[in-house]
Each structure stands twice: as structure tokens, then as C-alpha cells.
Amino acid sequence: MGVIWDISWDGSFGKGSFWTPAHTVLNFGSMIAWITSVWMAVRTTWTGHPASVQVGFMRMPFGALCILWGDTAMLTYGTLNVWWPDAYGVISGSWVHRGFWLR
């Protein structure tokens, strides 16, 4: 919901700040998923439960790894979403917005 709202918000009102409703929904949802995934990774590592993947010394379910990877990509795209329109003037439809769909 947040991604679609963000794209339509940028197309209708122009580039918004971090605190626009669309960005707030997008970032808050991502933050909840990230915190949950970190908790699952720490719990799985410390308790020694079998897990699908091991990354370094951390063990975590494959789903938690996917969410952590996706949220890291989202943080990168969020940073570029702020920078790109300032540098090039293109807002909606840029490759940065398409990158959000990869998450």
C-alpha cells in the first residue's frame, strides 16, 4: 500500500518530505518488518534452533533473511528517492521507484 501511495503522491503533489503520510506508512511498515526479522535472527542464533540459512555466525529463517535484504534495499532506494529528484528533476516513474517494487 505504501509504495503505490508514494508513487501517486509524488505524481500528484511533487516530491514530499520524510513525513508525508505515504512515506510514513512505507517506512513504518518496513521498520516493523525489520525489527521482527532481527528478533527472529537473534532468537534463532542464541537458542540454537535449526534454521534454513546461516550468514556468518548468525542463523536465521530464510524469510527473515529475505526481509532483512529487502529492507536494506529499501533503505538504499529511500535515500536515492530523496537525492534523485534534486539531482535530475524526475520524480514518478524513475528507476528509484521501480526499485521499490523489488522489495
Range of the domain at 25: 2-11+18-100
User: Residue 30: which pLDDT band, with cuts at 50, 70 and 90?
Assistant: confident
Give the tens place of pLDDT for each residue, 33-49.
999 999 999 999 998 88
Rounded to whole angstroms, what are the CA distances from 87 to 3, 57, 62, 83, 91? 22, 40, 37, 6, 10
Give the least confident one: 27-31, 37-41, 75-79: 75-79
Domain count, the chain: 1
User: Residue 2: which pLDDT band, with cuts at 50, 70 and 90?
Assistant: low
Q: Tell me the whole-structure pTM to 2 decimals.
A: 0.70
